[in-house]
Amino acid sequence: MMDYCQSVNVFQGNGEIDLPPAQGIAAKWFFIKAGCGNTSPAATLPFGPMSAAPYTGGYPTGSTNHKMNSFARPRHFDDDGLLGFSHLHQSGVGAVGYYYNYCLVSPHYGETIERQPILSETAQPGYYACELDGINCELTVDRRTALHRYTFRKTGGRIRIDFANMDLHYPDFESRNAEVRSLRIEGDLILSEVFAEGVSLFFAVQCKLPKTATETYVDLSVDEPDEVELKVAVSLASCEKALAYLQAAGGFDESKARAYDIWNKELSKIRIETDSDEVREIFYSNLYHSLVKPADWDGESFIYDKGKPFSVDFTTLWDMYKTQLSLLFLIDREQGEKAVETLLSCGEALGQLPNNIGLSARTKLHAEQARMLAEYVLLTAYRYGVKMDADRLLRCIETDIFADNKKDFTVDGVCQSHTWMLDMADGCGLTAQLARERGRDALAERLEPLAQQWKMCYSEETGLLKADSSYYEGTLYNYSFRQMLDMDERITLAGGKERFVELLDRFFGYGQPDVTLPTDPTDYEPVAEGIKLGRFEGFNNESDTEAPFSYIYADRHDRTCEIIRSGMKYMFTTGKGGLPGNNDTGALSSYYCCMALGLFPVAGRDLFLLGSPFVKRAEIDLFNGSRLIVETDVVSDEAIYVKAAAFNDEPIDGYRIKASELLRGGTLQFCMTDRPTK
């Protein structure tokens, strides 16, 4: 097997954006969101619960020196450095209301814990290391266990294990401490129950050093220069379960090698050929960050009965549902089935499908973001052929649609936000189609009138969404060009194809002046009010990332190609500054991977839209055992337009192909040209 891990930069997107100066159409786009990718360099496994990384208290993963920010360039701490290493991290999110960072392990000298500058650091998939003053620190992981190795080069070394550590710690953020319900020492072992965000976490720690305990932390003494190993395991069920995980873990070097092999196997499911070392690094770094979440806490649900699959960290489902979870369903049978079971079981237990599932009992958090996104995820999985009971799926969706919290739509017919109306209308339409297929005609008849309510959200005068609504993280422009279930009717409402293209052109900046972004972070917040500029956000925020593909329905695929290729060239690069905005649990990373392959999955539907691929060849091992090959005859900065496309030598019309066809396996061929095509 090739070494795909060698092409991964674990640090990609961990810092402030540092992108190539935008040119051409990309120079017309207006960033509104935070100028950092917010990824974590944690040692973790694909979909692994454990993620061991430096803890700085920085926003939002705990692994940066960023203060809390919502717009523009991050602001930074005056006192840089880490406070130790924590074990549970979010991935690329923004302000989601809760952060992990439990069980802080702090190697240090002296009596007090102070920030220590990171003198150097390195990482590879499944491994992180850094050099502090007099201490070399290494971290790796097993499935439920993190392994630490510290080399103390001076006398007087100490390690503190603080079970109460939680959230982010600096003046701009309201920090909360976890409640340590129990803490006991049993020889080489430390066992603790931590209660935070309404959830109990059980830790088992193993280390041979002398120990002194308080109610919330344990101090270990190193005294003489030495190499020290320490293991930390976690469970959502019991300390005994955590201890079993700990005892099953191997040694440090064995676990490090195994983690590397596991990552290589996962990354090898998509094998690309490209002449560009930069594209190869960006692709596999993004594929890596696409496969970190959701975390597999199999058998340890705190929402429904234990013993069933349980995946956590659908933290930003409103972003993940577009490409990240679609990519997961394409290539990973086990995790796809576990994600489906988690969503269905949560829906049954809660009486509604949540927008957010994390290590928090606040399952209704972020209900204002969107509506019925879990339905789109489940319907995507169903259309791809992921194993599930279709009748159970329909029952779960029916319960959610007609829940009390959606009566504004199902009874009153008008929601606070037009985006909710669009979410629910198409969700009802997609579900009605499945209900007809399953012989549930009565359910379909209830849903089909609801599926038509989207039309009241648009203005026939402007062809855009109406202004009399709240729009989350954007304006009416950012949501006016999503792919609706009935795109023909949507385009007719806009005044026809020519008028629809005019609206799209204005949104993407064709014929408009370039945008100059403020360089001072303090300038951004007032400017961010808009976003009233009504311009595309340049892949900085996922709210309008499907919009380039709406040109396809108006016979202007050339515009789709121009926008995608320009965006991938100027909005993604290598290194810590290589992502254009919050990665949002793999949403932006997976988008890049899909664009490299020339495929955009339309959530909830049996449909892929074709883009402009920029790898020569790719082999994709599909979850069902089939193989999809993507071939591009010419890859260059000039030949960005698709002259023709075929699947298994059959021409593709309209740049659209059924997902169910692709998933049978075969060869997707792109014939490229440097001349615009329609």
Average pLDDT over residues 18-47: 89
Domain end, chosen from 264, 297, 319, is at 264
**What are the φ/ψ torsions at residue 497 (nearest 5 degrees)?**
-65, -45
Q: How far apart are CA 614 and CA 55, in angstroms?
A: 37
Amino acid at 140: T
> Comparing 17-31, 71-85, 148-162, which segment has the lowest mean pLDDT?
71-85
Amino acid at 440: R
Residue 517 pLDDT: 64
Q: Tens of pLDDT along 436-487?
A: 999 999 999 999 999 999 999 999 999 999 999 988 888 899 999 999 999 9
The predicted model scores a pTM of 0.97
Residues 259 and 281 in one domain: no
CATH number of the domain to which 471 belongs: 3.30.2080.10
What order of strands is seen across the sheet that includes strand 608-610? 599-601, 608-610, 656-657
In a domain, 270, yes or no: no
Residues 199 and 293 in one domain: no
Average pLDDT over residues 321-329: 98
Q: How far apart are CA 306 and CA 638, in angstroms?
A: 55
In a domain, 376, yes or no: yes
Tell me 21's DSSP state: P
Residues 390 and 253 in one domain: no
Residues 217 and 172 in one domain: yes
In a domain, 23, yes or no: no
In a domain, 614, yes or no: yes
In a domain, 25, yes or no: no
Q: Tens of pLDDT along 63-98?
A: 888 887 766 677 788 778 999 999 999 999 988 888
Q: How far apart are CA 40 and CA 548, in angstroms?
A: 29
Q: Is the pLDDT of residue 520 over 60?
A: no
Q: How far apart are CA 613 and CA 622, in angstroms?
A: 19
Residues 431 and 336 in one domain: yes
CATH number of the domain to which 133 belongs: 2.70.98.10
If residue 151 lies in a helix (H) or strand (E), which one and from where to where? strand 145-152
Residue 242 pLDDT: 98
Domain end, chosen from 233, 264, 295, is at 264
Residues 444 and 483 in one domain: yes
Q: With bands split at pLDDT 50, 70 and 90, how would you rate the model's confidence at 583?
A: very high
In a domain, 22, yes or no: no
Domain end, chosen from 217, 240, 264, is at 264
Residues 485 and 433 in one domain: yes
Contact call for residues 242 and 146 (beta carbons, < 8 A): no
**What are the φ/ψ torsions at residue 519 (nearest 5 degrees)?**
-100, -20
In a domain, 269, yes or no: no
Average pLDDT over residues 370-389: 97
The mean pLDDT of the chain is 93
Residues 287 and 169 in one domain: no
Q: Is the pLDDT of residue 580 over 70?
A: yes
Pairwise pLDDT comparison (157 vs 678), residue with the higher score: 157
Residues 128 and 237 in one domain: yes
Residues 563 and 434 in one domain: yes
Residues in CB range of 401: below 8 A, 6 or more apart: 372, 375, 410, 424, 427, 428, 431, 447, 450
Residue 657 pLDDT: 98
Residue 518 pLDDT: 60
Residues 549 and 413 in one domain: yes
In a domain, 344, yes or no: yes
**Closest to 343 (Cα-Cα) out of 384, 389, 385, 405:** 389
Residues 409 and 456 in one domain: yes
Give the domain range for residue 140. Answer: 4-16+32-264
Q: How far apart are CA 153 and CA 627, in angstroms?
A: 52
Q: How far apart are CA 421 and CA 372, in angstroms?
A: 10
Amino acid at 154: K
Question: How many domains are contained in the chain?
Answer: 2
Q: How far apart are CA 614 and CA 657, in angstroms?
A: 19
